[in-house]
Amino acid sequence: MIFLTGDVHHTDPRMGDQKGLASQWSEVRICERYLESANKHSVCPTLFFTGLAVEREADFISSLVERYRFEVGGHTYTANHRRRLLGLSRRLLGLANGPYWLQRRDMLATMRCIKERLGLSVVSWRNHAYRMDRNTYRVAAEVGIRQVSNRVTGLNGTIRQVEGILEVPINTVPDHESLGHDYHPRMFHSVQDWVDRVLQQIEYHQEHGLPSIILAHPLCMFVEDRLAAFERLCAVIGKESPGQLRECELSQMV
């Protein structure tokens, strides 16, 4: 099974990747072209939205929900806010997302916003920047999340059950860290090379009976080459009947 995922953030001057966007674009607006390319090839991705993105652009996201096939997951409420608090929490408590009560409040606020603004129930979750600590799975299970995709693993990473949650790791090379965007070292000369590597990894997974979980941000795909490489990726994986994270089952484990 193949799962295509992406993260969508609200507009924020602290988001380095957004600096290259023209004023008429936001990460939410880019999703329209992303979903058009994906759905054209029978790919129905899972997109993780921050609560603020939904709060600020609910009408546009609602129009996307009406016109395209995709799952809406949660991606924290504010993403980069509370940096000092989270930094202190990590150093003093060993908790990347703050105390238990703060992480629970953030998840619930994000889920509530999506339910009230879009009419959708969230069952899939990814923390911004993959931040995860010893409370994450416990909190997710308590608030009704079924799938968490916070870990980046090697090729052999697979779906497993942890504390009542299905852990769905990203087991292909992620786009954001690999493509640079002016402040990360580039692992690949071009986004087309990145697609080549992802397709090679998917082939490996198929040979070994493993699911493939892809992270392709709408913003990254747009900034790199206006989604041309992304369309090629979708054209290939669309032939394999890719699914949404909400469809994950333990039967997909080896």
Amino acid at 182: D
Q: Are 107 and 139 in contact (CB under 8 A)?
A: yes
pTM of the model: 0.93
62 burial via Cβ count (<10 Å: 0-12, 13-18, 19+): middle
Residue that has been written with the tokens 């920047």 in this structure: 129
Q: Are 93 and 125 in contact (CB under 8 A)?
A: no
**What backbone torsions phi and psi does residue 236 show, to the nearest 5 degrees?**
-80, -50
The answer on pLDDT for 183 being more than 60 is no
Residue 254, pLDDT score: 43
pLDDT tens readout for residues 44-95:
999 999 999 999 999 999 999 999 999 999 999 998 666 666 666 767 677 8
Give the lowest-confidence range in 92-96, 168-172, 203-207, 223-227. Answer: 92-96
Q: Above pLDDT 90, what percent of the chain?
A: 77
Residues 6+ apart with CB under 8 A from 23: none
The answer on pLDDT for 228 being more than 90 is yes
3-state class (DSSP) for residue 28:
helix
Residue 138: both structure tokens together:
């416990």
Residue 184, pLDDT score: 61
Residue 85, pLDDT score: 65
Residue 230: both structure tokens together:
């992304």
Angle 37-38-40 from CA coordinates, rounded to 5°? 65
Residue 23, pLDDT score: 65
Residue 94, pLDDT score: 76
Instruction: Output 161 or 11, whichever has higher pLDDT.
Output: 161
Q: Above pLDDT 70, what percent of the chain?
A: 87
pLDDT tens readout for residues 151-168:
999 999 999 999 999 999
What are the structural domains, with CATH classification, of the chain? 2-252 (3.20.20.370)
Give the lowest-confidence range in 84-88, 197-201, 238-242. Answer: 84-88
Give 226's Cβ-side CA count (13 Å radius): 1
